[in-house]
Structure 1
Amino acid sequence: MAAPLLETVSESLGSPEPAVRLILSILIGYPCALLYRRLLFHQPATVIHLFHSFSGLALAAFNFGSQLYHSVVCVLVQFLMLRLMGRTVTAVLSSFTFQMIYLLAGYYYTATEEYDIKWTMPHCVLMLKLVGLSFDYYDGGKEPSQLSPEQKKAALLSVPSLLEVCGFSYFYGGFLVGPQFTLRSYQRLVAGELTDCPGKPPNSVVPAMKRFGLGFLCLLIYAIFSPYYPDSYYQTAEYEAQPFWYRCVFILLWAKIGLYKYVSCWVIAEGVCILSGLGYNGVVDGKHQWDACANMKVWLFETTPLFSGTIASFNINTNAWVARHVFKRLKFLGNKPLSHVTSLFFLTIWHGLHSGYFLCFSMEFFIITVERQAQALVRDSPLLTRLASSPLYPFIYVVQQFIHWLFMGYPLVAFCLFTYDKWLKVYSSVYFCGHVFFLVAYLSMPYLRKALVPKKERKDKKQE
């Protein structure tokens, strides 16, 4: 009976059935969190782990059927690695290698030329959780003086039980689309420590409903406007027949609307985490914070004119995971750009094996490099500094925001169209304007510095 009903709902909404199942599964997290608050908050840890494990497995079965065995296999293998290999570098490397190869094999054997909601979608979230678990267990065997503050916060002092690892892996608030959180945070949730009133469920209903409302608004925007900006339009003769300016503006609007698909899911899922208590983040300036599981800074995302600002506001927990477990762990290389490139390469293959991912993240690296040089130029040039604080700034902001939104969408063309033949066709139709713009900017920057930065300033910079 459920299947025909879902088919009817998906047809009426004009959305694929897997997408409807996913949204429903995220929403089911709210009654699960209420059930936990009302009936299970004071129950023993074993009962809570069982509830989280079985509710997460039920969501996996609802979305992916028998393919849920992929996650079960990886969770069991990870637990055995922790138990049998202990706190060793070998355990960390083995965990990383096994979980990454399993995910990439999944991408390879299930790949199509379209974006499909299949078992690999939550599995990439699970892969980060399990590899992070091996890092945190390894850190638990080090002296506290050897750890950074964030490593101390996440380090595991004892090996977790299988039931604990299952509850952590399948927790309904983060299994399908994230966010990322550590086992230590999960342990504190189960122990009833993540609350603003000790010994009682947290007063988090209002903060959770605010995030739900915001997420639902983003979902509504996406549902209303996305039919006007389909990916398939790029491959039509009609798109090619449009004037150059129209094709560029279409990329801008298509990307802006398309990203709400991710924003809505993450913000609604964050509300589930807040309602359960996992989103509690202590007290700052006398106010209780509920942003421990924030995966989006929506206001920053909407208002920043900087590419770095968009990155800082988007998929926050995944970026933080990569910074903590990849970028900072490569400190021994003594080369920040190399660590940055390696981190982006990891993010690329973590997303999948399509050529579009490689182009997107290489463009991201290049764009951020140029933006940092431009920011340094504005900071060092008295003329540009005055201009940035002059009454003309609102006009400059509008121009900068247009450039930002346009070229934020430009790399996403490759990210969303996946294959070489599709994204090449689109980039050719706009004459590779993004590549040209940033290449010209990069090559022009030394000459602009000579023209706009006083010689004394340039000498001081060289000496630094």
Structure 2
Amino acid sequence: MHTSGTIVLRSACFFFLSVFPAGYLCALVYRRFLFYKSPTVIHLFHTFSGLALAAFNFGSQLCHSAICVLVQFLMLRLMGRTVTSVLSSFIFQMLYLLAGYYYTATEEYDIKWTMPHCVLTLKLIGLSLDYYDGGKDASQLSSEQKHSALSSVPSLLEVCGFSYFYGGFLVGPQFTLRNYQRLVGRELTDCPGKPPNSFIPALKRFGLGFVCVVIYTIFSPYYQDSYFLTDEYESEHKNPFWYRCVFILLWAKFGLYKYVSCWVIAEGSCILAGLGYSGVVDGKHQWDGCANMKVWLFETTPLFGGTIASFNINTNAWAARHVFKRLRFLGNKTLSHVTTLFFLAIWHGLHSGYILCFSLEFFIITVERQAQALVRDSPLLTKLANSSLYPLIYVVQQFIHWLFMGYSLVPFCLFAYDKWLKVYSSVYFCGHLFFLVAFLIMPYLRKALVPKKERSQKKQE
């Protein structure tokens, strides 16, 4: 009989093999044998290779993705470019995903069919919105919407190829049907009409992803989620307060490499196929069209906003384009921001930990923006930030950044109320207290550190 741990390990191995080498082999087959073939042949290859990966990982449960793809196609065909079609798509796809979460939920991080399905859900909702935008006058569309709007209804085969494309089916990245059509139309290449010169860029991303895998493999066993729930972790005698906080920091830092490595390696297969090509900037061909991680920014930024901007980029961009910006009619950016974060929390799953994690994100980002404005408006703090003391300030800022980034991720990774509450209790809710105090004293710091004249100007603006 298989133990739970053995099943999870086997699923993880199957999953990784599907990202590499399977994704790269599919990209090589496409480049070598199918690049000049008709769109029909290419769609069939992408569809069946993606279905094969789904069957390899989830067996007969691939039926869930097939059902949602078929229903989405029928909605496009039968409902046309209507608000009803968009709302029906959103409601059906989200309810199907949430039902999947409900019926497969455990209190552990499992690799199951809902993992790629959450990626597919955004793809299909985005598809309905892009098709709806295609019916609007060009003057009503933003530059982003013009780039992704669909001028005609796609065929079933086209929707299947887009949905099951091997480079993005399992872990992302998000991309539009228009970009997929450009790939099939041989437009995404630095050599017009020929396969792209993308071996080196793809190899670089794979190499970077492999380094991240090695880091995760070496260090993550020392920082397991399960340790948070032991008596030893919360024992003041064995682990003083500072140790428990540092454990959270290191646990988050090394644990996130699990996501970083998957996204960067998957991006490499997209680059190899050509989907990652994003044109020419300053005379150089760019291959960041499918970048889900800005690894250098992720490693060096001392800001919470910087980490968010560097992490899961395409999903954040999808949420900004299809949720945040489409809520403009609310007339309130804060309300749009909260609604977008709530959507992302529910999209991740039904556990309370997701709601708390995204709530903390909103509160921390709000305080950070206030702190940045304070530094910018205060001559004393601006001078200090530009002084020779900045390296020391940077180290302290990075420690605070990663400590409370890890603190925010505790409920995201532990899911259940009783688990994350136990961890937060063991560190005396230090993250909540730190940012609550910072939020409350910020107005007084502005009065003390910002000249009255500049405060008056800010109020007038």
State the TM-score, normalized to the length of structure 2: 0.98
User: Do structure 1's residue 238 and structure 2's residue 232 form an aligned pair?
Assistant: yes
Counterpart for residue 286 of structure 1: 283
Counterpart for residue 49 of structure 2: 55
Rounded to whole Å, the distance in 1 between the matches of 2:202 and 2:228 is 38
Counterpart for residue 413 of structure 1: 410
How far does residue 15 in structure 1 lie from its aligned partner after superposition? Answer: 6.9
Rounded to whole Å, the distance in 2 between the matches of 1:306 and 1:15 is 34
User: Do structure 1's residue 22 and structure 2's residue 15 form an aligned pair?
Assistant: yes
Partner secondary structure for residue 458 of structure 2: helix
Rounded to whole Å, the distance in 1 between the matches of 2:439 and 2:84 is 42
Counterpart for residue 194 of structure 1: 188
- Structure 2, unpaired ranges of 5+: none
Rounded to whole Å, the distance in 1 between the matches of 2:179 and 2:374 is 42
Counterpart for residue 435 of structure 1: 432
Counterpart for residue 68 of structure 2: 74
Which residues of 2 match residues 179-258 of structure 1 at below 5 A?
Answer: 179-241=173-235, 242-258=239-255
Counterpart for residue 342 of structure 1: 339
Please point out which of 166, 178, 184 is paired with 2:160.
166
- Aligned-residue identity in percent: 82
User: Do structure 1's residue 389 and structure 2's residue 386 form an aligned pair?
Assistant: yes
Cα RMSD of the aligned pairs, angstroms, is 1.2
Rounded to whole Å, the distance in 2 between the matches of 1:357 and 1:436 is 20
- Look up the equivalent residue of 1:117 and give its one-letter code: I
Counterpart for residue 320 of structure 1: 317
Rounded to whole Å, the distance in 1 between the matches of 2:8 and 2:80 is 46
Partner secondary structure for residue 135 of structure 2: coil
Rounded to whole Å, the distance in 2 between the matches of 1:199 and 1:436 is 59
- Look up the equivalent residue of 2:30 and give its one-letter code: Y
Runs of 4+ in 1 over 4 A off after TM superposition: none
* Number of residue-to-residue matches in the alignment: 455
How far does residue 326 in structure 1 lie from its aligned partner after superposition? Answer: 0.2
Please point out which of 348, 353, 377 is paired with 2:374.
377
Rounded to whole Å, the distance in 2 between the matches of 1:174 and 1:105 is 23
Rounded to whole Å, the distance in 2 between the matches of 1:29 and 1:119 is 18
How far does residue 240 in structure 1 lie from its aligned partner after superposition? Answer: 1.2
Rounded to whole Å, the distance in 2 between the matches of 1:179 and 1:294 is 7
Rounded to whole Å, the distance in 2 between the matches of 1:38 and 1:219 is 28
Q: Deviations over 1:148-167 (max 9, x none)?
A: 00100000000000000000
Counterpart for residue 27 of structure 2: 33
Please point out which of 97, 104, 107 is paired with 1:103.
97
Counterpart for residue 129 of structure 1: 123
How far does residue 26 in structure 1 lie from its aligned partner after superposition? Answer: 0.3
How far does residue 199 in structure 1 lie from its aligned partner after superposition? Answer: 1.0
Partner secondary structure for residue 16 of structure 1: helix
Please point out which of 246, 259, 262 is paired with 2:259.
262
Partner secondary structure for residue 395 of structure 1: helix
Rounded to whole Å, the distance in 1 between the matches of 2:148 and 2:340 is 21
Rounded to whole Å, the distance in 1 between the matches of 2:455 and 2:178 is 48
How far does residue 81 in structure 1 lie from its aligned partner after superposition? Answer: 0.1
Q: Is the 8 A contact 2:275 2:290 kept in 1?
A: yes
Counterpart for residue 114 of structure 2: 120
Q: Is the 8 A contact 2:8 2:110 kept in 1?
A: no
Q: Deviations over 1:287-316 (max 9, x none)?
A: 000000000000000000000000000000
Partner secondary structure for residue 283 of structure 1: strand
State the TM-score, normalized to the length of structure 1: 0.97
- Structure 1, unpaired ranges of 5+: none
How far does residue 412 in structure 1 lie from its aligned partner after superposition? Answer: 0.4
Q: Is the 8 A contact 2:216 2:255 kept in 1?
A: yes
How far does residue 336 in structure 1 lie from its aligned partner after superposition? Answer: 0.2
Rounded to whole Å, the distance in 2 between the matches of 1:48 and 1:220 is 34
Partner secondary structure for residue 288 of structure 1: strand
